[in-house]
Amino acid sequence: MAVSVETLDTPRVIHPGYPRVDRIFHGSARTVAIVVLVVFGAIGLFLGLKSIATFHRYGTHFFSQADWNPELNKIGISATLLGTVEVAIVALIVAFPLALATALFISEYAPARIKATLVALVDLMAAVPSVIYGAWGFFLLMPSAKYVSRWLHQNLGFIPIFRVDTDPHAAIWAQSRYTGSMFIAGIVVSMMVLPIACAVMRGVFAQAPPGEREAAFALGATKWGMIRSVVLPFGRGGIIGGTMLGLGRALGETVAVATVLFTAFEVKFRILETGGNTISKLIAERFGDATTVQLAALLAAGFVLFLMTLMVNTLAAILISRSRSGAATEI
Amino acid sequence: MSSVVLPPAEISVSPPAGAQLNGDHPRRINARSTDDVLSVVGSILGSLAFVWMVYFQILPFSGLVGFAICWYVTFLLTYAVVTSRAHPRPIVVSRVMAATLTGAAVLVGLALGTVVVYTVIRGVKALAHSNFFTHDMAGTRPQDPLTKGGIKHAIVGSVIQLSIAVAVSLPLGLTTAVFMTEVGGWFAKVVRTVVEAMTAIPDLLAGLFVYVVLIVALGAEKNGLAAAIAISITMIPIIARSAEVALRVVPGGLREAGLALGASHWSTVRRVVLPTARPGLATSLILAMARGIGETAPLLIVSGASTFFNLNPLKQPMNSLPLFIYSAIRDPNPTMIERGFGAAVVLLGIVLFFFAVTRFLARQRVGRQ
């Protein structure tokens, strides 16, 4: 303060150029980011390159053939692709309402004291290894879920997807026809989809502007009225995005599905009936004893899975980021 | 929530004639009146008694799951009817929705609870034998009693693989996060998009990639290092994403203060940003470790399931906990399944331990001032 301001009033140069240590810092950080990017890009690239030969050799048959029988030179993923989508859809149908309800419960209804614990529990649910969900599904869920399957078959059997090739009303019913089905696999996968979707939804709900919440209450809305008119519209992008992210997870789930679902190569829509297959299950189970040709075909199947999940996830990321930047009117 | 004096109506509903508008109370949003509590408790008890009577005594049903579903549905109906005796429709809807959402959340909690409890119940039998932790499965046949063999090789394999994976993925993931938040620019956006897309890419594909590059192209055998690299590929995006979130909540004022004092960008990041975000960064690492140790799918492809003890990640297959569980529970021998559940309890215990640590770290929220 001793120096007169008048005499020394030279403005500080805003862009003096970075010192060397910073140039090194920025350069190395950028290099690491490029390395990470290259590794991830290489995953897609390698799978793509390795599957060209398969696509050449089998052409469109690769997508229309249901059998996976390398000895007979019959290799196709139509059944597995359909199974992948069916399991994922069942998982979403089970997980979506539960995830939405849990997210709303945590963000709106849970007492503030236990909120952090509940959030951690949802994270924990996402971190429970899928092999443990698989064991749970196989040993605990499957014996009881087959009764649900049978009940659905008995009462909704006229809908084609709920049909099973057995008599639903037989006194001694064919229990094994209802086990290891895509329905049960879907329920197990939903346990892994749920925490992912729930975490995204809760994050978006928590960002609903407090001003609008209070405005709704001030206008006399009940709690549900407030949620319906403020929280849900605000969180729409997050709800859709979180669900899509869950779908990406459901499409790629491997170990739990491989444990619960019994293998069958068949294009089928009867989700309650035993047997089915998904791409990831196919890869996991056929990898060990694969010949070179079969290996290439498995990599091609992996590439298809990669493209599917990448598409779904990118869409999800766009939707989630839109909802965050979203039309929040802060009062 | 409905201890309101004002008519708690939707906008279209006009206030009824007898509404007491004279008292100017502030509205208490989260308060519970006696009426709220009693109608919930009464509905729960009433529906329980009614459904128990009908379900078990009159109709020839027995299943507990069916009973729970019937009870819950009857409870919702009773609750709606009880509320509608004294309150207008919006309050009925609000209460029923609150009960429905709470019920769904409880169901999710129960499902998670059964996973943990069932695993522990099935697993204690194997854990009771101390040789389970000190022996490996070499020379033990699947049908041998639980007093023979153990999972030492799988535990050690998991620890080695996770350590390598952390050593690889922590610097890469953290630096990527620093790049995304601190350096920025258009390229950071590209990186963020790719990392976000990669978080949910099936972990199986990481295994395929490592298999193609390391084992087919470079001609290595299946080993622990390949497994560790596959695990770190799945851990990098998790660390990068959650560390980015932790770095982003560091107040911009701190950075500006550091820069304004003449510090270089690097020393600002090193001495201000990273220490402030330390609890968050530790949380992100441990979260990724919890995910990494349970990773099974890529290991199926790149790491053979050995039965013997192997400390060298460069040579010979190396088993790990998830892989051991996966093969054990698919074994037809009941004792092998018991072993699988025993290993599952150990794995679950490790994951839970990691989570306890994150909770502990999260409590010390704000860094040192």
Q: Which chain A residues contact residue B115 at CB under 8 A? A: 128, 132-133, 136, 191
- Please enumerate, as own/partner, the contacts of A62-70 that have beta carbons within 8 Å and a separation of 24 or more: A62/A297, A62/A300, A66/A265, A66/A266, A66/A267, A67/A265, A68/A265, A68/A282, A68/A286, A69/A265, A70/A291, A70/A293, A70/A294, A70/A297
pLDDT at residue B5, as a whole number? 46
For chain B, the first-to-last Cα distance in angstroms comes to 39
- B101 to chain A: which residues are within 8 Å by CB? 101, 104-105, 108-109
Domain residue spans of chain B: 35-125, 145-368
Where does B11-138 have alpha helices with state H? 34-52, 64-86, 89-127, 131-134
The answer to whether the beta carbons of residues A161 and A270 sit under 8 Å apart is yes
In angstroms, rounded to a whole number, what is the distance separating the alpha carbons of residues A136 and A122? 18
**Shortest CB distance from B179 goes to which of A33, A198, A255?**
A33
Torsion of CA B77, B81, B84, B85, to 10 degrees: -170
Nearest CA in chain A to B28: A217
Residue type, B38: L
The 3 state secondary structure assigned to A178-232 is: CCCEHHHHHHHHHHHHHHHHHHHHHHHHHCCCHHHHHHHHHCCCCHHHHHHHHHH
Residue type, A163: R
Nearest CA in chain B to A308: B201
| Enclosing H/E stretch for A64 | helix A61-64
- Which residues of chain B does A123 touch, with a Cβ-Cβ cutoff of 8 Å? 287, 355, 358
Q: Across the interface, do B265 and A22 touch by the CB < 8 Å criterion?
A: yes
- Per residue in B320-351, pLDDT tens? 889 889 988 888 888 889 889 999 999 999 99
Q: Does A190 touch chain B (CB under 8 A)?
A: no
Are B355 and A310 within 8 A, CB to CB? no
Count how many pairs of residues, chain A against chain B, have C-beta atoms within 8 Å. 280
The mean pLDDT value for B161-185 works out to 91
Q: Are A226 and A176 in contact (CB under 8 A)?
A: no
Within 10 angstroms of residue B161's Cβ, the number of other Cβ atoms is 30
Q: What is the pLDDT of residues A257-286, one digit of tens each?
A: 998 888 888 888 888 888 888 888 888 888
CA B288 to chain centre: 11
Per-state percent for chain B, helix, strand, coil, to nearest 5: 70, 0, 30
- pLDDT (tens digit per residue) in A118-130: 988 898 888 899 9
Number of neighbours of residue B159 by Cβ within 10 angstroms: 14
Residue A13 is predicted with a pLDDT of 67
Q: Å from A51 to nearest chain B CA?
A: 12
| Chain A positions in Cβ-Cβ contact with residue B109 (cut-off 8 Å) | 121
* Domain A86-282+308-327 class, CATH top level: mainly alpha
Core vs surface per residue A184-197: b (16+ CB within 10 A) or e:
bbbbbbbbbbbbbb
Strands A74-75 and A68-69 turn out to be: antiparallel
Q: What is the DSSP string of B282-303?
A: HHHHHHHHHHHHT--HHHHHHS
Q: Are A305 and A251 in contact (CB under 8 A)?
A: yes
Q: What is the mean predicted confidence (pLDDT) over A160-182? A: 81
Smallest CA–CA distance from B337 into chain A, residue: A135
Every domain of chain A and the residues it spans = 86-282+308-327
A40 touches chain B (CB under 8 A): yes
Nearest-angstrom CA–CA distance, A331 and A213 = 11
Closest chain B residue to A44 measured between Cα atoms? B209
* pLDDT (average), residues B284-294: 87
How does DSSP assign B187-224, residue by residue? HHHHHHHHHHHHHTS-HHHHHHHHIIIIIIIS-PPS-H
Confidence label for B365 from pLDDT (cuts 50, 70 and 90)? low
Q: Which of A266-270, B121-125, B138-142 has the highest mean pLDDT?
A: B121-125
User: pLDDT at position B7, please?
Assistant: 47
Predicted pLDDT at B99 = 92
In total, chain B counts a number of residues equal to 369
Looking at residue A325, its pLDDT comes to 43
Distances in whole angstroms, Cα of residue A129 to Cα of each of A49, B38, B322: 31, 42, 8
Task: Give the three-state DSSP class for A19.
Answer: coil
Residues of chain A found within 8 Å of residue B100, distances taken between Cβ atoms: 101
DSSP symbol at B25: P
CB contact under 8 A, A127 and B233: no
Residues of A whose CB is below 8 A from B344 = 131-132, 135
Distance (Å, whole) CA A298 – CA B76: 50
Write out the CATH class of domain B145-368.
mainly alpha
Residue B250 has pLDDT above 90, yes or no: no
CB contacts, 8 Å: B297 with chain A: 130, 254-255, 280, 284
Candidate from A220, A221, A255 with C-beta closest to B296 = A255
> Inter-chain contact A283–B193, Cβ cutoff 8 Å?
no
Among all residues of chain B, which has the CA nearest to that of A296?
Answer: B212
Interface of A with B in 240-299 (CB under 8 A): 245, 248-249, 251-255, 259, 280, 283-284, 287, 295, 298-299
Q: A39 at the B interface (CB within 8 A)? A: yes
Q: What are phi and psi of A75, to 5 degrees?
A: -135, 120
Q: Scanning every residue of chain A, which has its alpha carbon at the shortest distance from the alpha carbon of B330? A: A259
Q: Is a pLDDT exceeding 60 seen at residue B4?
A: no
Tell me how far apart the alpha carbons of residues A204 and A198 are, in angstroms, rounded to a whole number: 10
Distance between CA A327 and CA A60 in Å, rounded? 45
Q: What are A276's strand-pairing partners?
A: A263
What mean pLDDT, rounded, does chain A reach? 84
